[in-house]
Structure 1
Amino acid sequence: MPLVDPVELVPAAELGPVHFIAIGGSGMNGIATMLVQLGVRVSGSDRSDSAYLRALETAGARVHVGHAADQLGDARTVVASSAIREDNPELAEARGRGLRVLHRSAALGSLMLGHRGVAVAGTHGKTTTTAMLARVLTGCGLDPSFVIGGAPTGTKTGGHLGGGEVMVVEADESDGSFLQYPAEVAVVTNVDPDHLSNWGNAENYADGFLRFATAERVRLLVVSADDPGAVTLTRRVRAAVAGRAEPLQIVTFGEHPDADVRISDAGFAGTGSSFVLTAGDTGGPVALAVPGHYNVLNAAACYAVATWLGAPEAAVREQLDGYAGTNRRFQLVGTVDGIRVFDDYAHHPTEVRNTLLAARTGVGEGRVVVCFQPHLYTRTRDFSTELAAALELADEAVVMDVCGDREDPIPGIDGALVADAVGGRTHVTYEPDWDAAAPTVARIARPGDLVITVGCGDVTLVAPQIVTALTLTRGAV
C-alpha cells in the first residue's frame, strides 16, 4: 500500500455534502460525526452493520449497509481510507463523476483548520492517549473538539465538536497520513518499526516521525524519554531545528531521571495503577483505573500537553484519576462464574506483550488465557517470532488464523506460524476455524481466569461469544 501524500486542505464548510466509504470504521466514524455536528450533510456506507453506523444514523447521517454506486447521492466530496480498493463501486463512481475524493486524513485535516491542533502519534498508545487527553481537557473546562480512532468507554463515537479552540486528533503513521495534520502540538508516545510493507524499512519509518515532529506549524513536541526509538527521534529533532527562527519546545516524559515530566513510585494492583508525576516544582499523585505500565506513560504525555495548554496542574491529575478507558483497550466484556473476559486491540508484538503484562498484574491467583488473532499476512510474516514470544506471557494461548483485511494471502503465512513458535510454559492451541475459537476458549477457561481476546481484526466479535459460551455451560454471575 503506498504512502499518502499530503494535499492542500479544504475548509470543512466548503466540502459540500460528504459521503464516507466505510463510514463505520474506527478511523472514519469520528470524522463523520464531527461533520454532522457542524451541520454538513453526511452519508456513508459500510460492509456490515454496527453500533457506529446506528449512532451516526441517529445523529443525522444517511447510512447504508453494503457498497453501491447509487448511494453517493448528491455528494460533492467522497472520503475513503487507505483500506478502500480502487474497484470499490462507490470509489469508482466518485472518480467517474469527477467528485472531490479525499483520503480520510485530508478530511480530518480540514476539520483542524482554525483550531489549535494536537496530533497524537506513536506506534503504540495513540488511541488511549488521545482519548485520555480529550477526557482531561474536557474535565478541565477547555471543551476541546476531538477525533479518536476508537470510542471512549460508554460512547458510540470517537468524534466530538467542542466549543473551545483546541482540537485533539489521533495521528496514524501506518500510511504516512500523520504528515497531513496542521498541528501546533505533536505527541510521540514511541517509535517501534511497524507497517514496513508501506514504509519499506525501519529507517524510512523513523524518518516519517522526524518529518511529523518537525513540521512547520509544530511549536511543542511531547516525546518519550524512555522509548529507544523516541530518544533517537528527540536527538534528531534537536539537530534538525537548531537555528530555526521559530523555536520548537521539546518536553520529554517517562521514568528517566532527566525527563521533564517524570514518573516515579509506580505501583500496579488489579486493573489499576498509582504513581507520582513531577514537572519541576509541581506535581503529585495520580491513580488510574486502567491497567498497565504503558497507560502510566500515556498519562504522563497527557499531563505534559494539558498543562502546556493552560489546564491547572492539580485539575489535570484529578481528571486522569477519572479516565475510564476506550473501547477495545483492555475492555471488560463480561464475567461468568468468576471468569473475566476482556477484549484488546493489540496487534504489534510490543502491544501484545504490554497487554499480557497488564493481564498478569490483574489476574490474581488465576491464569491468563489469551485468544490471539494475527493481523495482516505481512505483519505475521515479519513478526511471527516476536508475536510468539509475547504470547508466552500467557498460561494458555489460543491462536486463530490470520485476519488479512486489505491484504491478499501469502503462501505459507498463517496462524500456525505463530502458534508453532510459542514455547516456554505456555500451552498453545492453534484453532484455524473462526467459529470454533469461542467454544475452544470456553472449554479451557476455569473460575479465576482472566480471558482476553487480542488483535485488531474480527477477533473482537469472539469475546462476546466466549461470554455466551461460558454462560451456557456455567451460568452467569
Structure 2
Amino acid sequence: MGNFALFLEDKGFIVKGSDSMFYPPISDILESSNIELFREYDEKNLSWDPDLVVVGNVVSRGNVEAEYTLNNRLNFISLPQLIKRYMIEKKDSIVISGTHGKTTTSSMIAKLFHDQNYDPSFIIGGIPNGFSSGFRSGKGKMVVLEGDEYDTAFFDKRSKFLHYFPTHLIINNIEFDHSDIFNSVEDIKRSFKHLVNIVPSNGIIVANGDDKNIVEVVENSHSKVVTFGFGEENHWVIRDLVHSQKHTSFDLYKNGDFKDSILVPFSGEYQVMNFTASYILAYYYGLDRDKTKTSLYSFKNVKRRMEIRGKINGATIIEDFAHHPTAIKSVLKSLRLGYPNKKIFCCFEPRSNTTVKNIFQESITEALSLADSVIIGKLNRADLYKKEDRLDIEKILETLNSEEEKSWHIENVDNIVSKLKLLLDEDYICVVMSNGSFDGLLNKLIDEKG
C-alpha cells in the first residue's frame, strides 16, 4: 500500500493515508514525502472528500473509515484493482508468486530489466537496495509485480494476484499460510490454479518443479510451463552447488544439456532457487545472458531481508522479515553457511496471523532449533485466541532447553535488550525476525550500540 501511495503521489495525485501503525523502512520514506499520514482510523481523516478511497485488505467492516465511506457513498476501490487500472494497462505483467521469496525475486527481476535499460515499472512489497523505494513508473513495456495470495479486500475475497492478469508468472513455492483466510493448503492451491488459468497461451510460467503442490497447480495449464529445481525431472536442473562465505556457485542444465554457470552473492538453497527463477524468466524474455549474470551477482538484496543493521558487543545484528517456519529455517541455514565460525542468536517475534496459533507448533520448534540461542518475544494479540489454540511458547522452550538453558521467552523489549547486552560478543551473530516492528527492538539495540 505504501509503495503504491508513493507511485500515485509521483503521478500528481494528492494522497493521504491512515493506518494503526507504520513500520520501517516504508514509514521512513512516507514521512519524507508529501503524503499526509494519520496514525489512527477516524472519520475526520476523510473529511477532505477524496475522489477515491483505496481500501487495504487489513480493513474490515466496522472500521470507522470503512463505515464512513459506505455511509457517505464515497467512491472506493481495492489496491489490486487500482494497480491494474493505473499500472498494468496493456503492459506485460510479470507476476512473482509463492509463499516465500516473492519480494526478493521481484526485486531481482526488476534489477535485471533496469540494468539492461528496459525501463521497467514495478511494485514490490519491500525496498530493494539500489532503488529509492519499492515502486517505479518506467516507460518500458513491462511491469514487475509481487503477487500475493492474500485476499483483496473485505468486499472482494479473491486473492490479490488475480487482479494482476500475468503475462508471465513465477511460482516459487506453495505452503500453508494465512490461516485467517485459508482453511487448508487445498484452499491456497485453488487460488493458484485460478491464477495459472489466466496466464495467456503465449505467456510463460516458471515453476518450482521440486514442489509437489506447484506441480499439481500447473498440470492443466494452457500456457508454456518451465520447471526448475534440484530434481532431475525438471526442465532446468541446478547442479554442482558450492557455498562459500562470500558467494555461492552452481551450474544450470536445460533439458539435460549444460547451459550456464552462475555466481551469486548469497548462501542457501532458497536463495539459489530465487536466483534461478529470475535467470530463467530473463532467459525466455530475451535478456542478454552475460549481463543477467552480472546483475545477479551485484544484487544487494532487500531491506529487512538478511539486512545487516549494526553491531553490539562485537556481534553483527541482522534483520529479517521471516515469520513462517520454512522462512525461519531458510534464514538460519543461510546464516550458518555465511558465518560458519559464528554462533547464531535468534530473536523471534510470533506475530503473523498464522504463527500466533499452534498450527506450526512443531515446525517452528524445529526451525528455531537451528539457532544456538533463542529469545521468543511477546505473542502478538494473544487475547484474541483461546489458550488451547495459541502457540505454546513454553513447550517450544522445553524442547530447545532439553540439554541446557539456551533459550528464553521474554515479553518486554527492554529486558530483551538487556539480555542481549549480557550474552552477545564477537563470537555471535544475532538475527531479529519479525514481520512487524518487534516493539522497536532493533532501534533500541542500535541505540545501545551508541
Output the TM-score relative to the length of structure 1: 0.84
**Kindly tell me: are residues 277 and 297 of structure 1, through their superposed partners in 2, closer, same or farther at Cα, counting changes over 3 Å?**
same
Per-residue deviation, 1:167: 0.5
1:447 alignment partner in structure 2: 426
User: 2:193 aligned with 1:215, yes or no?
Assistant: no
Report the Cα distance in structure 2 between the residues aligned to 1:290 and 1:29, rounded to whole angstroms: 28
After TM superposition, the structure 1 stretch with the greater mean CA deviation from structure 2, 428-437 or 274-283, is 274-283
Please state whether the residue corresponding to 1:120 is helix, strand or coil. strand
Query: C-alpha deviations, 1:299-353, integer Å up to 9, x for none?
Result: 1111111122221122111110111000111110112443111011111111111
- Whether contact under 8 Å (2:3, 2:26) holds in the other structure is no
Per-residue deviation, 1:80: 2.3
Report the Cα distance in structure 1 between the residues aligned to 2:362 and 2:49, rounded to whole angstroms: 50
Please state whether the residue corresponding to 2:13 is helix, strand or coil. coil
Report the Cα distance in structure 2 between the residues aligned to 1:374 and 1:271, rounded to whole angstroms: 31
Per-residue deviation, 1:216: 5.0
Q: CA RMSD in A?
A: 2.4
**Kindly tell me: are residues 272 and 375 of structure 1, through their superposed partners in 2, closer, same or farther at Cα, counting changes over 3 Å?**
farther
The partner residue of 2:228 within 253, 272, 280 is: 253
**Residue identity opposite 2:20 in structure 1:** R
Query: C-alpha deviations, 1:144-174, integer Å up to 9, x for none?
Result: 1111111112555211111101001111113
The equivalences for 1:366-445 within 5 A come to: 366-376=342-352, 378-379=354-355, 380-404=357-381, 408-412=384-388, 413-414=390-391, 415-422=393-400, 427-445=406-424
- Whether contact under 8 Å (1:286, 1:318) holds in the other structure is no
Which consecutive unaligned segments of at least 5 residues does structure 1 have?
1-27, 242-246, 473-477
Report the Cα distance in structure 2 between the residues aligned to 1:368 and 1:194, rounded to whole angstroms: 26
**Kindly tell me: are residues 301 and 378 of structure 1, through their superposed partners in 2, closer, same or farther at Cα, counting changes over 3 Å?**
closer
User: 2:271 aligned with 1:295, yes or no?
Assistant: yes
User: 2:17 aligned with 1:44, yes or no?
Assistant: yes
Per-residue deviation, 1:361: 1.1
Report the Cα distance in structure 2 between the residues aligned to 1:195 and 1:425, rounded to whole angstroms: 34
- Whether contact under 8 Å (2:93, 2:167) holds in the other structure is yes
- Whether contact under 8 Å (2:110, 2:122) holds in the other structure is yes
Report the Cα distance in structure 2 between the residues aligned to 1:167 and 1:460, rounded to whole angstroms: 35
Report the Cα distance in structure 1 between the residues aligned to 2:402 and 2:227, rounded to whole angstroms: 36
The equivalences for 1:341-380 within 5 A come to: 341-376=317-352, 378-379=354-355, 380=357
**Kindly tell me: are residues 293 and 460 of structure 1, through their superposed partners in 2, closer, same or farther at Cα, counting changes over 3 Å?**
farther
Per-residue deviation, 1:285: 2.6
**Residue identity opposite 1:381 in structure 2:** N
1:194 alignment partner in structure 2: 177
The partner residue of 2:260 within 284, 298, 304 is: 284
The partner residue of 1:98 within 52, 57, 73 is: 73
Per-residue deviation, 1:124: 0.8
**Residue identity opposite 1:40 in structure 2:** F
Per-residue deviation, 1:202: 1.9
Per-residue deviation, 1:54: 4.8
1:68 alignment partner in structure 2: 42
- Whether contact under 8 Å (1:438, 1:463) holds in the other structure is no
User: 2:111 aligned with 1:135, yes or no?
Assistant: yes
Report the Cα distance in structure 1 between the residues aligned to 2:34 and 2:258, rounded to whole angstroms: 45
Query: C-alpha deviations, 1:19-45, integer Å up to 9, x for none?
Result: xxxxxxxxx112112222233332213
Report the Cα distance in structure 1 between the residues aligned to 2:179 and 2:276, rounded to whole angstroms: 29
- Whether contact under 8 Å (2:251, 2:258) holds in the other structure is no
Report the Cα distance in structure 2 between the residues aligned to 1:181 and 1:425, rounded to whole angstroms: 50
- Whether contact under 8 Å (2:329, 2:370) holds in the other structure is yes
Q: Percent identity between the aligned chains? A: 23
1:224 alignment partner in structure 2: 208
The equivalences for 1:161-180 within 5 A come to: 161-175=137-151, 176-180=159-163
Per-residue deviation, 1:184: 0.6
User: 2:98 aligned with 1:115, yes or no?
Assistant: no
Report the Cα distance in structure 2 between the residues aligned to 1:79 and 1:304, rounded to whole angstroms: 35
Per-residue deviation, 1:298: 0.3
Per-residue deviation, 1:101: 2.3
**Residue identity opposite 2:95 in structure 1:** A
- Whether contact under 8 Å (1:283, 1:314) holds in the other structure is no
After TM superposition, the structure 1 stretch with the greater mean CA deviation from structure 2, 298-307 or 206-215, is 206-215
Report the Cα distance in structure 2 between the residues aligned to 1:398 and 1:371, rounded to whole angstroms: 5
**Residue identity opposite 1:182 in structure 2:** F
Please state whether the residue corresponding to 1:196 is helix, strand or coil. coil
Report the Cα distance in structure 1 between the residues aligned to 2:121 and 2:25, rounded to whole angstroms: 21
**Kindly tell me: are residues 171 and 460 of structure 1, through their superposed partners in 2, closer, same or farther at Cα, counting changes over 3 Å?**
farther
- Whether contact under 8 Å (1:403, 1:458) holds in the other structure is no
Query: C-alpha deviations, 1:209-245, integer Å up to 9, x for none?
Result: 1111222546211100222322333xxx33x24xxxx
Please state whether the residue corresponding to 1:186 is helix, strand or coil. strand
- Whether contact under 8 Å (2:312, 2:425) holds in the other structure is no
Report the Cα distance in structure 2 between the residues aligned to 1:445 and 1:117, rounded to whole angstroms: 46
**Residue identity opposite 2:170 in structure 1:** V
Report the Cα distance in structure 1 between the residues aligned to 2:403 and 2:293, rounded to whole angstroms: 40
Please state whether the residue corresponding to 2:233 is helix, strand or coil. coil
User: 2:5 aligned with 1:32, yes or no?
Assistant: yes
**Kindly tell me: are residues 297 and 423 of structure 1, through their superposed partners in 2, closer, same or farther at Cα, counting changes over 3 Å?**
farther
- Whether contact under 8 Å (2:93, 2:166) holds in the other structure is yes
The equivalences for 1:330-349 within 5 A come to: 330-349=306-325
Report the Cα distance in structure 2 between the residues aligned to 1:399 and 1:71, rounded to whole angstroms: 37
User: 2:441 aligned with 1:459, yes or no?
Assistant: no
The partner residue of 2:288 within 286, 303, 312 is: 312
- Whether contact under 8 Å (1:350, 1:390) holds in the other structure is yes
Per-residue deviation, 1:295: 0.9
- Whether contact under 8 Å (2:179, 2:353) holds in the other structure is no
